[in-house]
Structure 1
C-alpha cells in the first residue's frame, strides 16, 4: 500500500480574471473518488493541505475552478496529474490549463503495514485521532467511532429502528457495504464540518439538526448521516428526533427520484434508472434487479411492508417501504424467493406469486 501526502498547493496565477479561484482538488485513488478538497486561492497564495491518503496502484488529481450553478457557466478544469507508486519526497506537479498556473507539492511513501482490506479501518483510526472540533455537540465521538468499527465489518447493523427513514437507510447500508472507506469519510466530514460533499454538491445539516442527540432510538453514526440525508431532501418538514405517527411518516417519505439522486450522488453510479410496477411488470423488475446486483450494482425495491408477513386481507395499493435487493432470486415451485436487507437484518423472502405482485411497486437501480 502507498500513502500520498498532499503538502501544499501554490497559486502562481488564477484562472479568473479578477479575484480568487474557488479551487476544488479531487483525489481519485485506484479509480475511486476518495476526497474533494476546497479552498479559495488568489495569485501568490499557498494552501497547506497536509492531507494523507492511501492507494494501491494509482492516484489521480484533478483541479477545478468552481464557477457555480448558472447555466452555461460550468466549472473550469485546470489540469489532471497522475501519481505513480514510486516513493518521492516533496515532488511537484503543475496544473496549467485555461491560463491558470498552480503547483502542488506532495510525497509518496510505502506503507507495508497496511493492506487493501484495512483502508476503511485506517480511515476510522485517522478520524479517531483527529483533533478537529465536533459540529454535533449532542453526539459522543467515541460512540460514533465504535459504531463505525461495527459497521466496517457488519454493515447490516445499520438500522432505522423507530424512524421512517427506510430510503436513506438503504442507501447508507449499500454505501457501507460496497464503499466502506467512502462511508467513513462522509461520516467524518459530517461530524467535523457539519456537512459532506456528494458527487456534485455539498449536503449540510442545519444547526437545529446538529444540536440534537441521536433520535428515533438510532445509533449516533446512523442518525447523523441518515437524518442529514433525509432533512436535506425535505422541502417543508425538517427532521425531528422525537416525531411519531403521521408527522414521522411525512418526514421520512422517500420518492423513487430521491433514491435515484442518492444512488448517483452518494453511491457514485453513472447508470441509474427507476421503474415503477404499480400496474404490471413486477417479475421483469425483480429479474432486472437481480441482473444489476449480480453485476456488482445496487438495486432498491419499493414495496408495501406487508411483504414481510403472511397474506392477511388486502394489501393497500401503495408502497410504504424501501428494501435493498441482496440476491438469491428463485422462481421455481410456483413461488418467488429472494434475499433483502431491511431494519438491520437480512431477510430470506419466500412469497406466493400473488402476494409478491400485491406488495411490489418498483425498483431503482444503479451500476
Structure 2
C-alpha cells in the first residue's frame, strides 16, 4: 500500500500527499477502533496541517493514539516513515486488532458536527460580529469538536458559560457547532429551546485578548442574552451567574432531570460531595460551585466566597475523613485540572470552600 515519504504532524515536514494519507488513515481508525471513540471523532481534512500546534485536529489525533493505544508516555504528535505510529495506522503493527482488515485509503464519513463547520467555512459573507473572522472561528471550532477541553473563558468571569458550553460540546456536538456558526452568520442561535440573541453593542465589541474567538462568540452571547442587569461587553463586566441561572440554561439547552444542591452563603458537607460523585457516576453532567483559590491548594480566608464553576471530570474518587487529602480532576480554564493542582488539600479544607453542585442528564 502507499506510504509516506516524510514525517507528518508536530514539527514534521508535512508534505501535502503525506498529510492526506495520514489524515485518511487517522479517520479510518477513529471510525473503526472503538477504543478511540472516547476521545476522538472523524474530522474533515484537506492535506493541510498546523504542525506547530497540539490543538490542530491531526496532531491531536496522533497524540491521543500514541498515548492511549500505543502506550507512549511522551507522545511527540508526529508520524515518521517506518515508525511505530505509522505501522499502527497502516495495520502492520498488530495494534489494529485481531481479524481486522488493514485499512485502505478511502474517503471517510464526515462527522455531522464537522460537516456543519465545513459548510460554514466555505461561505464568504461577512458575519454579524464586526471583529470576528470566519476562518478563525472555523479553525477554533474544529479543534474544540475534537477536544472540548480547549474551551476556555480566559481571564473573564465567564466560567458559568464555559462550564455549560463544555457540557454541550461534548454531549451535543452538532448543537454546539450549529450555535456557534449561526451566531456568526446571523447574530442569533438556538440550542434546544434556548434562544441566544446578543445585543448589537456586543457584536460590535472587540474580542478580549485572553479569549479565543470561537469561545468568545458563544460564551459572551450566552451572558449577554441572559443578563438583564448589564450587557456583557468586556472582560470586566459582570460575567458570573447564579446557580438558578445555570440550572435554567441547562434545562433550556435540552438537558433533563436537573439535580441541584448549592448555595452562596454556606459551604457544603461531605454528603453533598458524595451526591455530586454519585450523579457523575450515573452519567450526569455535574458542575461544582467552589472558591477558585482551592485549585491552587489555598485555604479558606475571611474573604473566601463561591466564585467559580467547574465541571466534575471523575466518576470515582476517594472520599475519606476530613483529615485525609482530596484529589480529583475537573474541567476549567481550557484543560483538565486536578484539585489541587499545587500542594495538598485535605477534605475538611476543601469542604470549607465548596458550595454545592448542579447535575443534569443528557
Partner of 1:159: 152
SS in 2 for 1:271: strand
**TM-score, structure 2 length as denominator?**
0.64
Could you tell me which runs of 5 or more consecutive residues in structure 1 were left unpaired when the two chains were aligned. Answer: 1-111
- The answer on 1:359 being equivalent to 2:328 is no
Partner of 2:269: 282
**Contact 2:117-2:141 at 8 Å conserved across structures:** yes
| CA-CA distance at 1:280 after TM superposition | 6.0
Partner of 1:272: 258
**Contact 1:215-1:240 at 8 Å conserved across structures:** no
**Compared CA separation, residues 201 and 269, structure 1 to 2 (3 A):** closer
Q: Moved runs in structure 1, 4+ residues, more than 6 A?
A: none
1:150 to 143, 147, 154: 143
Partner of 1:224: 217
Partner of 2:231: 238
**Compared CA separation, residues 227 and 313, structure 1 to 2 (3 A):** closer
| CA-CA distance at 1:169 after TM superposition | 0.8
Q: Structure 2: how far apart are the matches of 1:260 and 1:311?
A: 28
Partner of 1:348: 338
**Compared CA separation, residues 315 and 347, structure 1 to 2 (3 A):** farther
**Compared CA separation, residues 313 and 289, structure 1 to 2 (3 A):** closer
Partner of 1:331: 319
- The answer on 1:255 being equivalent to 2:235 is no
| CA-CA distance at 1:200 after TM superposition | 2.6
Q: Deviations over 1:92-135 (max 9, x none)?
A: xxxxxxxxxxxxxxxxxxxx9554x7222222112212455411
**Contact 1:331-1:337 at 8 Å conserved across structures:** no
Partner of 1:128: 121
- C-alpha RMSD over aligned residues: 2.2
Higher share of residues assigned strand: 1
| CA-CA distance at 1:294 after TM superposition | 2.2
Q: Structure 2: how far apart are the matches of 1:238 and 1:186?
A: 20
**Contact 1:324-1:342 at 8 Å conserved across structures:** yes
**Compared CA separation, residues 354 and 226, structure 1 to 2 (3 A):** same
Could you tell me which runs of 5 or more consecutive residues in structure 2 were left unpaired when the two chains were aligned. Answer: 1-105
- The answer on 1:194 being equivalent to 2:181 is no
**Contact 1:304-1:316 at 8 Å conserved across structures:** no
Partner of 1:32: none
Partner of 1:76: none
Kindly tell me the number of residue pairs found equivalent between the two proteins: 248
Structure-to-structure mapping, 1:10-159, within 5 angstroms: 115=109, 118-131=111-124, 133-159=126-152
| CA-CA distance at 1:340 after TM superposition | 0.3
- The answer on 1:170 being equivalent to 2:163 is yes
Partner of 2:66: none
| CA-CA distance at 1:189 after TM superposition | 1.2
**Contact 1:163-1:216 at 8 Å conserved across structures:** no
**Compared CA separation, residues 152 and 238, structure 1 to 2 (3 A):** same
Partner of 1:23: none
Q: Structure 1: how far apart are the matches of 2:328 and 2:302?
A: 20
**Compared CA separation, residues 206 and 157, structure 1 to 2 (3 A):** same
**Contact 1:301-1:323 at 8 Å conserved across structures:** yes
Q: Deviations over 1:247-272 (max 9, x none)?
A: x3xx1121001110111122x11211
**TM-score, structure 1 length as denominator?**
0.63
**Contact 2:268-2:355 at 8 Å conserved across structures:** no
Q: Structure 1: how far apart are the matches of 2:294 and 2:302?
A: 9
Q: Structure 1: how far apart are the matches of 2:283 and 2:223?
A: 26
SS in 2 for 1:335: coil
**Compared CA separation, residues 273 and 354, structure 1 to 2 (3 A):** same
SS in 2 for 1:323: strand
